[in-house]
Amino acid sequence: MAHPNGVPRITDATKVWTTLITNTAYLPGLLTLEYSLRKVGSQYPLIALYTDSFPAEGHAALDARGILKQRVPYLLPSMPKDYVNDVRFYDCWSKLTPFSLVEYERVVQLDSDMMILQNMDELMEIALDPPEMAGTGNRVFAASHACVCNPLKKPHYPSDWRSSNCAYTSQHATPDAAQTEGAPPGINLGIPNGGLQVVNPSQAVYDKIMAQMASAATSNYEFADQSLLSDVFFGRWVALPYVYNALKTMRWDGVHDAIWRDDRVKNIHYLLSPKPWDESEDVQSGREARPSENAPHAWWWDFTEERLKEERARGVDDRF
């Protein structure tokens, strides 16, 4: 199970899903993500990419469920921006690791606060530039656009993060097309969301990323990994429709409900706090004040109840 360059693979599969895990705070999300991939019938395995900060009880939880895992380095740029307002971004640099996993032919990186609602194995087949193009082509990776509407009106977000600059706003008049086509990659701010990345791993592309990580430019990157990718490869990536990285906030009234369709979403992304697992199921079922915002959390609990039932039947019963 070795790649021609001698790097061993931990699975027979040459195409894999990966997700980064650095602590147990996101572990319930990862476990439900893995369950959801199996539930929708994906033929590809999920590999948990863990850093040295991931603790023993987390490893025990993965091992008890037979989830594949692989150690990766914790990446930080030489001149990191101070993310005091969004400490989650310190961990995000390591989401660039899949570009280096050259033992695999295709890696689709998923955030561990995602849940798969429909099979999306087609992402393993979409055409991207081959590794030997070294990041010089126009299909370096695939991702969905970042939503730059800033619906929570966070004061530390850039002033140009507003709905008029959002790629998804440009699709409001063509909602049918928005289910199957992404807005052009270079439209408006042209920033990919780092939550889902489809990658043909390439040492040359990874070297380009590492060179940028060593530059002073990173001190200005508001959104860590996705800022870097949009800077280095501006307009040279494949823009996927929102259904592959459906940010829960897009469903809210007045954000992108113009294009959102529950029955078309393949992968929902529970970005921002609180996460569904930070709130009890009782809280979820009792919150009717803003149902358009709460329904996706109820979906997560439905899947998770199924997961927990399956695990208990196999004798796995821990706090995750």
Average pLDDT, the chain: 89
Q: In angstroms, rounded to a whole number, what is the distance separating the alpha carbons of residues 90 and 71?
A: 18
pLDDT of residue 89: 52
For residue range 157-178, list pLDDT tens digits in order: 889 989 999 999 999 999 999 9
> Please, are residues 274 and 210 in contact by the beta-carbon 8 Å criterion?
no
Least confident of 35-39, 109-113, 156-160: 156-160
Quick one: CA dihedral 286, 151, 119, 93, positive or negative?
A: negative
> Residue 256 pLDDT > 60, yes or no?
yes
For residue 261, report the phi and psi dihedrals to the nearest 5 degrees. Answer: -135, 120
pLDDT of residue 10: 94
Cβ neighbours for 179, distance < 8 A, ≥ 6 positions apart: 241, 243, 259, 261, 264
| CATH code for the domain of 121 | 3.90.550.10
DSSP state of 178: H
Strand 114-116 versus strand 46-50 pairing type:
unpaired
pTM score, whole prediction: 0.92
Q: In angstroms, rounded to a whole number, what is the distance separating the alpha carbons of residues 273 and 269?
A: 12
Range 115-136 average pLDDT: 97
pLDDT classification of 227: cutoffs 50, 70, 90: confident
3-state secondary structure of 135: coil
Provide the strand spans (E) within the chain: 15-21, 46-50, 68-71, 106-110, 114-116, 141-144, 196-199, 238-240, 246-247, 267-269
pLDDT classification of 247: cutoffs 50, 70, 90: very high
Total structural domains in the chain? 1
> Residue 82 pLDDT > 70, yes or no?
no
Note whether residue 2 is domain-resident: no
Note whether residue 244 is domain-resident: yes
Q: In which domain, by residue range, is 253 found?
A: 15-312
Range 18-32 average pLDDT: 96
Note whether residue 165 is domain-resident: yes
pLDDT of residue 228: 85
For residue range 263-313, list pLDDT tens digits in order: 999 999 999 888 999 986 555 454 444 445 679 999 999 999 999 999 999
pLDDT of residue 61: 98
pLDDT of residue 286: 44
Note whether residue 6 is domain-resident: no
pLDDT of residue 239: 98
Range 32-47 average pLDDT: 98
pLDDT of residue 289: 42
Note whether residue 318 is domain-resident: no
Note whether residue 259 is domain-resident: yes
Stated length of the chain: 320
Per-residue 3-state assignment (H helix, E strand, C coil) for 256-270: CCCCCCHHHCCEEEC
Q: In angstroms, rounded to a whole number, what is the distance separating the alpha carbons of residues 10 and 1?
A: 7
Note whether residue 243 is domain-resident: yes
Note whether residue 50 is domain-resident: yes
